[in-house]
Amino acid sequence: MKYIYDLHKTMLARNLILVYEGEFTQEITKSVLAMAERNMDSMGEESSIKRKVFNVMVECLQNIVKHGEDFNPFNEKKNSAVFMIGKQETEYIITSGNPVNEETVPKLREKLERINSLDKDGLKKLYKEIIKNADLSEKGGAGLGFVDMARKSGQPLQFDFEKMDDNHYFFSLKTTISREQA
How do the domains of the chain map onto residue ranges?
Answer: 2-178
Q: What does pTM read for this prediction?
A: 0.86
How far apart are the C-alpha atoms of 137 and 134, rounded to whole Å? Answer: 9
- 22 vs 123 pLDDT, higher one: 123
The DSSP call for residue 116 is H
The answer to which of 86-100, 127-141, 165-179 has the lowest mean pLDDT is: 127-141
Q: How far apart are CA 4 and CA 148, in angstroms?
A: 36
> Per-residue pLDDT for 79 more than 80?
no
Q: What does the pLDDT read at residue 136?
A: 55
CA 13, chain centre distance (Å):
21
> pLDDT value at position 137?
54
CATH 3.30.565.10 fits 2-178, yes or no: yes
pLDDT by residue (tens digit) across 97-152? 998 889 989 999 999 999 999 999 999 999 888 888 765 555 555 678 999 999 99
Q: Which tops the pLDDT comparison, 79 or 100?
A: 100
